[in-house]
Amino acid sequence: MAVMTLIQAINAALAGEMERNPAVVLLGEDIGKHGGVFRATEGLWERFGPERVMDTPLAEAGILGMAIGMALNGLRPVAEIQFADFIYPAFDQIVSELAKFRYRSAGQFPAPVVIRAPSGGGIKGGLYHSQSPEAYFVHTAGLTVVMPSTPADGKGLLVSAMRSPDPVIFLEPKALYRTAKGEVPEGEYDVPLGKAHTVREGTDVSVITYGAMVPVAEGAAAEAEKEGVSVEITDLRTLWPLDVEAVDRSVQKTGRAVVLHEAPRTCGFGAELATLVQERSFLHLKAPVSRVTGFDTPFPYAMEKIYLPDVRRTLDAVRGVLTF
Amino acid sequence: MTEQKERELYFWLRLIREFEDRISTLDKQGKIQGGVYSGKGQEAVVVGVCHELRPDDWIFPLHRDLGAFLVKGADPNRLMAQIFGRRDGFSKGKDSFLHGGDFSNCIFGATSMLGSTLPVAAGTAYKFKIRREDRVAIAFFGEGASSRGDVHEAMNFAGIYKLPVVFLCENNFYAYSTPNELQFAVEDVSDRAVGYGFKGDVCSGNDLHSVMKAARKAIERARAGEGPTFLECKTYRYHGHSEHDRATYRSQEELITWESRDPVERWEVYLQKRKYDIAAIREEVGGKVKKIVDDAVAFAEASPVPEGPEAMEDLYATPITEG
């Protein structure tokens, strides 16, 4: 196994699958000759040529519309939206076209489109380079929504996304692109969609999280351990379809749940998680479900460190559910 | 043109007219639950374009292009079942009117966000191009949709990559109630083609000869690798935007002016000038299309109404089960 960063693992997944499957085509802004602003597609234009690694004009609706049209007739397009914040001009293509493609045609139209987008804060990007839009897409029936937190999952989940018959919104926590390092299996490697991962076993409190908040949860768990508190961490990895059994198992074991994400609080994905926990595990609960999230504000530029949930806030929530 | 082809074209014009008229009647009788968007008056556009295509070319019709489905090969029975929202329709009751598409005949089912299909058509054309397939994509849209950003984006992409696509604008002078002078500040919206680096062309959408000539040129250009064309067909819808729209925003005189340029009657005049027995042809074709539409209505009425649980089907390739 090689040690890689998350961005290297993404690049390896794209290269490997393009090598294996000639139907895979990449498109996006600055992804070709330049190799992508985060270098996710570095070297692929040289290796696979401009027809399969397509530099597009600055036009997100056009990029996703084009990707849908490619998928209609046998290609497997992987579109890069340069920042998840830039996905909104293409919202209609995702919500009206792509998500409803199979449904409105009663299964006739296939839409194996992968949309990769760097998501979340932590790089001092301000309002328009830091947002976490996952809840919009989970709310839209017909989409699969994925967010890895480790290099190995980055590779394995992206490979599975490129093999999925359904459209996948693949959100990459950009704060982890170079800070997450880890062993990644070489060669062909996939991680199934729709399966959560228990990052850490514990008995007192369950932290349910995903993406860039996984390392935050790990930091909080280490601190809690010093206080004699055993925290279990579930990394959802795929937000939809949700591995709800994994959530049930963990919460029914510990009886206490903290949901953690960096997106804003109201109607965030944590709201859905908290609801599912109370619907499905009510009699196991020893305390109300606690949410640790970003604020109900736009992403504040100079106050980024305050906005993003950190170890201290997560630890406070863990203590809170313990002392309820 | 051979006599056989001239007669065939007449059959398609009449079949579409019969289908459109029947649907309007059925709608008045309350037999159709959703919106009906009549393309009556615009038949020559879809016949002229689709008749020039091969079975594996793709079309991306707009909401008013029921005729494009028929000429491209869609089964009239299933099309009627689709309009009735029945299980034998293309979308098995999941969406209304023309949204289902017909994959086996390379017919796309559009959304209600008019214009959003143009980048999809461009993407399909991109696939044809990089796989060196001798196929073209035809993206239909109205002059109203031409104001949308994704129409611009699609044309820009197609120009850059010289894609085998024809952007086929049915300019019927009204986007719902909005007249062209409030839609754009030019006479011919196809003037925009020059800004995308390809050719724009205008033709009379009520004259089948004119449409066929212009369409053939655009399609041949696409097949030859010479890139897209913006073909604008000036035409007119006789009905309102949908059947419940009484179209009070336009004058009776204007409507009559266009009815006097009726595409079906024009073709009859042409056949007559060719010294065919037009009375006999009219009767024979009239009987034929009436039977097709009668059969389609009977088929649709006999098709089952979808049951509630069917709403959960076809959302994902593998159904998601509740844990």
Residue type, B69: F
In-domain check, residue A192: no
Residues A201 and A264 in one domain: yes
Q: How many residues in chain A?
A: 324
Per the CB < 8 A criterion, the answer to whether A53 and A32 are in contact is yes
Q: What are the pLDDT digits (tens) for A44-66? A: 999 999 999 999 999 999 999 99
Q: What is the DSSP annotation of B263-317?
A: HHHHHHHHHHHTT--HHHHHHHHHHHHHHHHHHHHHHHHHSPPPPGGGGGTTSSS
Task: Mention every residue, 6+ apart, whose C-beta is less than 8 A from residue B180.
Answer: B143, B171, B173, B174
Is A107's CB within 8 Å of B313's CB? yes
Q: Which of A58, A66, A166, A236 to mutate to test the interface with B (most CBs of B within 10 A)?
A: A66
- Give the integer Cα–Cα distance in Å for B145 and B132: 30
Q: Of A163, A184, A205, which one is at a domain's C-terminal end?
A: A184
Domain boundaries, chain B: 3-306
Query: Does A57 touch chain B if contact means CB atoms closer than 8 Å?
Result: yes
Which DSSP helix (H) or strand (E) runs through B139?
strand B137-142
Q: Which of A18, A105, A250 to mutate to test the interface with B (most CBs of B within 10 A)?
A: A105
Q: Of A144, A160, A184, which one is at a domain's C-terminal end?
A: A184
Report the pLDDT value the prediction gives residue B320, as an integer from 0 to 100: 67
A139 is catalytic: no
In-domain check, residue A189: no
Residues A209 and A161 in one domain: no
What average pLDDT does chain A have? 97
Residues A81 and A144 in one domain: yes
In the predicted model, is pLDDT for residue B297 greater than 90?
yes
Task: Mention every residue, 6+ apart, whose C-beta is less than 8 A from residue A89.
Answer: A59, A60, A61, B149
Residues A204 and A103 in one domain: no
Closest CB from B90, B127, B160 relative to A108: B90
What average pLDDT does chain B have? 96
Is B120's CB within 8 Å of A248's CB? no
Domains contained in chain A, number: 2
How many helical (H) and strand (E) elements, i.e. helices and strands, does chain A have?
Answer: 12, 14
Q: What are the pLDDT digits (tens) for B258-296? A: 999 999 999 999 999 999 999 999 999 999 999 999 999
Angstroms from B314 CA to nearest CA on chain A:
5
Q: Where are the alpha helices (DSSP H) in chain B?
A: 3-28, 43-50, 66-72, 76-83, 117-130, 149-161, 193-196, 208-223, 252-259, 263-273, 278-302
Chain B residue with Cα closest to A167 = B316
The pLDDT-based confidence of A289 (bands split at 50, 70, 90) is: very high
Residues A223 and A164 in one domain: no
- Give the integer Cα–Cα distance in Å for B288 and B281: 11
| Percent of chain A residues topping a pLDDT of 90 | 99
Chain A residue with Cα closest to B108 = A109
> Is the bond leading into B55 cis (omega within 30 degrees of zero)?
no
Adjacent-strand bridge partners of A24 = A76
The pLDDT-based confidence of B33 (bands split at 50, 70, 90) is: confident
Which DSSP helix (H) or strand (E) runs through B231?
strand B229-234
Distances, alpha carbon B39 to alpha carbons A183, B36, B142, in Å: 61, 10, 12
- At residue B242, φ and ψ (nearest 5 deg) are -135, 175
Report the pLDDT value the prediction gives residue B75, as an integer from 0 to 100: 98
Report the pLDDT value the prediction gives residue B321, as an integer from 0 to 100: 63
CA A147 to chain CA centroid, nearest Å: 2
In the predicted model, is pLDDT for residue A99 greater than 90?
yes
Query: Does A93 touch chain B if contact means CB atoms closer than 8 Å?
Result: yes
Residue B107 DSSP label: B
In the predicted model, is pLDDT for residue B207 greater than 70?
yes
> Longest C-alpha distance within chain B, in Å?
72
**Where residue A83 sits, what CATH number does that domain have?**
3.40.50.970
Report A:205-264 residues touching B (Cβ under 8 A): 241-245, 248
Q: What are the pLDDT digits (tens) for B96-150? A: 999 999 999 999 998 999 999 999 999 999 999 999 999 999 999 999 999 999 9
In-domain check, residue A140: yes
What's the token pair of residue A59? 């036009």
> Which is the catalytic residue, given A129, A139, A261, A284?
A129
Q: Which of A103, A113, A272 to mutate to test the interface with B (most CBs of B within 10 A)?
A: A103
Q: What are the pLDDT digits (tens) for A182-201? A: 999 999 999 999 999 999 99
pTM for this structure? 0.96
Is A73's CB within 8 Å of B58's CB? yes
Report the pLDDT value the prediction gives residue A110, as an integer from 0 to 100: 87
The mean pLDDT of B203-229, rounded to a whole number, is 98
Tally Cβ neighbours within 10 Å of residue B176: 12
Is A104's CB within 8 Å of B99's CB? yes
- Inter-helix orientation angle B208-223/B263-273, to 10°: 100
**Where residue A231 sits, what CATH number does that domain have?**
3.40.50.920
Closest CB from B111, B125, B323 relative to A96: B111
Report chain B residues whose CB lies below 8 A from the CB of A106. 90-92, 94, 100, 313-314
Report the pLDDT value the prediction gives residue B322, as an integer from 0 to 100: 55
The pLDDT-based confidence of B306 (bands split at 50, 70, 90) is: very high
**Residue A30 class from Cβ within 10 Å (0-12 exposed, 13-18 middle, 19+ buried)?**
middle
Query: What residue has token string 């191009």?
Result: B129
Report chain A residues whose CB lies below 8 A from the CB of B126. 54, 66, 69-70
Residues A96 and A130 in one domain: yes
Distances, alpha carbon A282 to alpha carbons A257, A276, A287, in Å: 11, 9, 10
- Give the integer Cα–Cα distance in Å for B311 and B93: 9
The pLDDT-based confidence of B93 (bands split at 50, 70, 90) is: very high
Per the CB < 8 A criterion, the answer to whether A233 and A218 are in contact is yes
Strand, coil or helix: B167:
strand
The mean pLDDT of B5-34, rounded to a whole number, is 96
Torsion over CA: A209, A235, B320, A161 (sign): positive
Residues A26 and A162 in one domain: yes
In-domain check, residue A64: yes
Q: Of A149, A184, A219, which one is at a domain's C-terminal end?
A: A184
The pLDDT-based confidence of B323 (bands split at 50, 70, 90) is: very low
Report the pLDDT value the prediction gives residue A221, as an integer from 0 to 100: 98
Closest CB from B119, B153, B320 relative to A69: B119
Is A59's CB within 8 Å of B153's CB? yes
State the number of CA atoms in the 13 A half-sphere of B166 facing the CB. 32
Selection from A73, A72, A78 nearest residue A11 by Cα: A78
Is A248's CB within 8 Å of B323's CB? yes
Report chain B residues whose CB lies below 8 A from the CB of A108. 90, 100-104, 109
What's the token pair of residue A183? 């062993």
3-state DSSP percent of chain A in helix, strand and coil, to 5: 40, 20, 40
Q: E-strand spans in A94-173?
A: 114-119, 144-146, 168-173
Q: Which of A114-123, A150-159, B17-26, B311-320 has the lowest mean pLDDT?
A: B311-320
Is A104's CB within 8 Å of B116's CB? no
Task: Mention every residue, 6+ apart, whose C-beta is less than 8 A from residue B117.
Answer: A65, A97, B60, B62, B108, B110, B111, B139, B141
Residues A154 and A80 in one domain: yes
In the predicted model, is pLDDT for residue A230 greater than 90?
yes
- At residue A14, φ and ψ (nearest 5 deg) are -65, -45
Identify the CATH number of the domain defined by range B3-306.
3.40.50.970
- Domain extent, residue A231, equals 197-322
Per the CB < 8 A criterion, the answer to whether A143 and A195 are in contact is no
